[in-house]
Amino acid sequence: MIRRRLLAGFFLFMLGCTVASRIYDSVTVPKVTTSPARRKAVETRVEGTGTVKVKEKQFCRIRPGLRISRIEVIPGSEVKEGDPLFWYDMESVQERQEELQKETEQIMLAIEKEQISRTDWPGLTRTETARWELSLAERELEEGEREFQDILSDHEAELERLQAAYEDGLYRTEEELWRQQERDWESARQEVDTLRDSRDEAVREQQRKIEDLEEELDELPEEEESRREKLEKQLKRAREDLEAVSDSWEERVDTARFQLDLLDRQEDLIRKGQTSVQEARRENYESAVKQEEERLKAARKELEAQRKAVERARWQLEAAGKEDDSSRKTRDQQKQISLLTVKGLELDKKEKEKEAAMLEALAEAGGRVNAPRAGVVVDMELEEGKTSTGQELLSLTWGGAWFEGTFLKEEQELVVGDRLQISIPGSGRSQEAVIGRMNLLGEAEGVFQADLEGGNIKLGAVTSYCCTRQSEIFEKVIPLSALRKDMKGYYCLVARPVSTILGEEFRAERVNVEVLFRGREEAAVDGPVFDTDKVITGENKAIGEGSRVRPVSGFQTGQR
């Protein structure tokens, strides 16, 4: 019996656990809200801040160099036409008047100086000078050519004379040479004969001396040894002297014979006209000819120089003509400049006179400056007691303003014509305006201007704006809450049914997407998201890829 109870109890236990696990499962499985990807436009909302600025201004002229004695208005002051804006100091006005008087007189003096400087005085031009120099050079050239012709004819005559004198002198020299040659040769031959005879005589004398010594030596008895030795020594010396005398005389004879041979060769030279005298005459002739050539060459060079001088004089005449033309034009230009300077000075003079008249009027008004028209003072940079520089701003406006706002070019998009809702500070209301101008040249921010109508917002007010825009139509648009991002990029989780033990369940599958456009509440994406997919837009518990989920229509509390 107990076994059956155990069996029944087991079934009951399993039944109870089944119910409990189902309940637990229904509690623990994250509930998610889903939305399909739709084909639609994405709504964007551009928000930012801007400033209300003046649309049109009239700037009052500030005279430089005048001290400000009193200021009647501040920025934002409303003025009527003719109301005083500020006062110039009268003392500085009078000082300025005196300065103007001096400046006017200086201008008149400068005009007079310019008129004087324009006066021309006649003189000799460079062309005239050059022309005179050219005529002079031409005359010198004519004279030089004539002189050259004379030199040329003299040169030819001199050359002929020199050649004739040379040839005549050469002939006469040859005859003299032959006569001298014959005398010299005869003299040389006699010298040779004399020397031969003297040699033979000297040799014979020495030989006799030797023969005498030999005979004496032969005849000398053997007992006289010392005498013999002495004689032998004398004999030896005599023989040596014979050789020396013979050699000496042979040398003299050879020398005389050599002189004779030279005279023989001299004959050949005379015959060929190559003697030193003939050479000297030829050199003298050639030197004279060369001198004549040099003289002609110098004359030709001088003539060439005179021709070049003429050419140079012509070029200088041409250059002088150009320089004179240039100088004339320069003078004309200087005259024109002077005229213009005079006109400019006259204009300055008129300006000074005009300023003097205005200062006169200002002095008559006691230094007071009035508002040119009714409006609101926008800029007032003048300070009491300070001398004006003329750069200070003093402007009035008479209505009309625009809203100037900025936006981030990379994240926000605005175009001309977009309608803005501009908040009216302190009222909780907004005013509509249309973007009329836009400047996109900035690095990060774009600037736009929208005309404001009605004057509901004060000038200078900083306030916010918003602009709602519709993008183009995208194929897959999902709520921003469905768009997730991690290290790998943008993705969304899609609840897709899977078959499990408990039947068909939904599991969160990761779908990587590329964000094409991001709006205020939705984003256009590109990726494998299908029309039938349930894109998870919210969950009551943290879920990830592969998590079991339970799509519901909505829940009270959510983490995202």
Partner 1 sequence: MKRRHWFTGAVLLAACLLVWLPLILMTAAAWMPEDELYWRYLSPLGMGRDRVRAALLPSYPSLAAMKELLIGSPGFFAMFWNSCIQVIPVAAGQFLIGAPAAWAFARFRFPGKKQLFGIYVILMILPFQVTQVSGYLVLDRLGVLNTHAAMILPGIWSTLPVFIMTRSFETIPEVLTEAAYLDGAGVWYTFLHIGLPLGYPGIATALMLSFTDGWNALEQPLTYLKDKDLWPISLYLPDIARDKAAVAFAAALITCFLPVLVYLNCQEELEQGVASSGLKQ
107 contact partners, CB below 8 Å, separation of at least 6: 345, 346, 348, 349, 352
Q: Which amino acid is at 418?
A: D
Could you tell me the sign of the dihedral formed by the alpha carbons of 429, 433, 437, 439, in that order?
positive
Name 557's bridge partners: none
Residue choice 7, 374, 462, 466 for contact with partner 1 (CB under 8 A): 7
# chain residues binding partner 1, by CB under 8 A: 20
Residue 21 CB, shortest distance to partner 1, in Å, is 4
For partner 1, the closer of residues 126 and 550 by Cβ is: 550
Q: Per CB under 8 A, which region of 113-121, 334-342, 435-443, 496-504 contacts partner 1?
A: 496-504
With beta carbons less than 8 A apart as the criterion, state whether 249 and 198 touch: yes
Name 467's bridge partners: 46
Residue 558 CB, shortest distance to partner 1, in Å, is 23
By CB under 8 A, residue 24 contacts partner 1: yes
For partner 1, the closer of residues 28 and 553 by Cβ is: 28
Q: Per CB under 8 A, which region of 12-20, 106-114, 195-203, 359-367 contacts partner 1?
A: 12-20
For partner 1, the closer of residues 6 and 416 by Cβ is: 6
By CB under 8 A, residue 12 contacts partner 1: no
Report how far apart, in Å, the C-alpha atoms of 119 and of each of 97, 106, 126, 474, 492 are: 35, 21, 20, 86, 95
Residue listed under structure tokens 């309608």: 419
Q: Per CB under 8 A, which region of 1-9, 118-126, 128-136, 279-287 contacts partner 1?
A: 1-9
For partner 1, the closer of residues 14 and 347 by Cβ is: 14
Q: Per CB under 8 A, which region of 17-25, 202-210, 296-304, 306-314 contacts partner 1?
A: 17-25
Residue 509 CB, shortest distance to partner 1, in Å, is 18
Residue 499 CB, shortest distance to partner 1, in Å, is 5
59 contact partners, CB below 8 Å, separation of at least 6: 379, 393, 394, 395
With beta carbons less than 8 A apart as the criterion, state whether 423 and 465 touch: yes
Burial of 494 (C-beta count, 10 Å sphere; 0-12/13-18/19+): buried
Phi-psi region of 428 (alpha: psi -120 to 50; beta: other; left: phi over 0): left
Residue 435 CB, shortest distance to partner 1, in Å, is 60
383 contact partners, CB below 8 Å, separation of at least 6: 68, 71
Q: Per CB under 8 A, which region of 7-15, 56-64, 75-83, 458-466 contacts partner 1?
A: 7-15
Q: Per CB under 8 A, which region of 19-27, 50-58, 410-418, 535-543 contacts partner 1?
A: 19-27
By CB under 8 A, residue 10 contacts partner 1: yes
15: tokens are 């039944």
For partner 1, the closer of residues 18 and 274 by Cβ is: 18
By CB under 8 A, residue 27 contacts partner 1: no
By CB under 8 A, residue 20 contacts partner 1: yes
Residue choice 17, 262, 340, 434 for contact with partner 1 (CB under 8 A): 17
By CB under 8 A, residue 499 contacts partner 1: yes
170: tokens are 């050469």
At CA 63, angle to CA 62 and CA 65, rounded to 5? 125
Could you tell me the sign of the dihedral formed by the alpha carbons of 240, 244, 246, 247, in that order?
positive
At CA 261, angle to CA 181 and CA 197, rounded to 5? 100
- Write phi, then psi, for 518 (nearest 5 degrees): -120, 120
Name 493's bridge partners: 510
Q: Per CB under 8 A, which region of 9-17, 162-170, 377-385, 426-434 contacts partner 1?
A: 9-17
With beta carbons less than 8 A apart as the criterion, state whether 536 and 552 touch: no
By CB under 8 A, residue 502 contacts partner 1: yes
**CA distance linking residue 76 with residue 355, whole number of Å:** 31
For partner 1, the closer of residues 22 and 458 by Cβ is: 22
Residue choice 123, 221, 428, 503 for contact with partner 1 (CB under 8 A): 503
Phi-psi region of 465 (alpha: psi -120 to 50; beta: other; left: phi over 0): beta
Name 385's bridge partners: none
346: tokens are 């006259």
By CB under 8 A, residue 544 contacts partner 1: no
What is the Cα 472 distance to its own chain's centre?
52
For partner 1, the closer of residues 2 and 542 by Cβ is: 2
Interface mask toward partner 1 for 132-151; x: CB under 8 A: --------------------
Residue 26 CB, shortest distance to partner 1, in Å, is 9
For partner 1, the closer of residues 24 and 59 by Cβ is: 24
Residue 31 CB, shortest distance to partner 1, in Å, is 17
Q: Name which of residues 256 to 295 contact partner 1 (CB under 8 A).
A: none
Q: What is the DSSP string of 386-430?
A: SBP-S---EEEE-S-EEEEEEEETTT----TT-EEEEE-TTTS-E
Q: Per CB under 8 A, which region of 385-393, 448-456, 501-509, 534-542 contacts partner 1?
A: 501-509
520 contact partners, CB below 8 Å, separation of at least 6: 43, 44, 45, 480
Q: Give the helix/strand (H/E) hosting 353.
A: helix 276-364
By CB under 8 A, residue 25 contacts partner 1: yes
Interface mask toward partner 1 for 504-523; x: CB under 8 A: x-------------------
Residue 11 CB, shortest distance to partner 1, in Å, is 8
At CA 273, angle to CA 267 and CA 278, rounded to 5? 110
For partner 1, the closer of residues 26 and 129 by Cβ is: 26
Q: Per CB under 8 A, which region of 6-14, 146-154, 428-436, 515-523 contacts partner 1?
A: 6-14
Residue 497 CB, shortest distance to partner 1, in Å, is 12
Residues in contact with partner 1 by the rule CB under 8 A: 3-4, 6-7, 10, 14, 17-18, 20-22, 24-25, 28, 499-504
